[in-house]
Amino acid sequence: MACAALCSVALLLGIVIAPAQADVAGRPVKIVALGDSLTAGLGLPASEGFVPRLQAALTAKGIAAEVINAGVSGDTASDALARLDWSVPGDTDAVILEVGANDMMRGLKPQLTRMALDTILQRLKERHIAVLLCGMRAAPNLGADYAAAFEAIYPDLAGKYGVSLYPFFLDGVAADLGRLQRDGLHPNAAGVEVMVAAILPKVEQLIAQIRDRRSL
């Protein structure tokens, strides 16, 4: 009798729990793009910024993912850290982290940028959120010493926390006037398409990583 009762409970639990597990495994991967104006899409129509074009590229490939735009123009790494908790909600699976360009443009000490990014990555790790860290290069006029200290931040921290690294967010776009807006800093619509095509394989790997984690 006791065995029958236990079997009934196990069966009941199986009925209740299995659909919930299936739901978690099957729901779209939620990715927050945490960044500055390059992520936000400054100067572009809403549909032509980095996040909507990345979303469109994933959808076109039949990949179930939702990309949230948490880019704020003008943000430094410290600004992103200050708003981390409310910019990255509890149901986030992954973060595309793109900050540091404004730190560099303002000539902030690389150590400050490093410390802020380190803290962001530490807190995301504690929340078990996967990260794709996007690197940035320093402007030549800042000098070789500054460039070396600044550009080392991204591979160093990617290695420290074991997260994926996309070495240069503006790869294929920086210094190409045909892919930049008039300010010579932000990508135009053509530039965004180049950026999305280049980073897409890394984003797909990030999503696969999350799918694998859910299946465990």
Residues designated catalytic: 37, 183, 186
Amino acid making up residue 97 = L
Parallel, antiparallel, or unpaired for β 29-35 and 130-134? Answer: unpaired
| C-alpha closest to that of 110 among 76, 158, 83 | 76
Structure tokens at 195: 């950026």
Residue with tokens 């992520």: 39
Name the packing angle between helices 110-126 and 153-161 (round to 10°): 20
DSSP state string for 116-142: HHHHHHHHHHHTT-EEEEEP----GGG
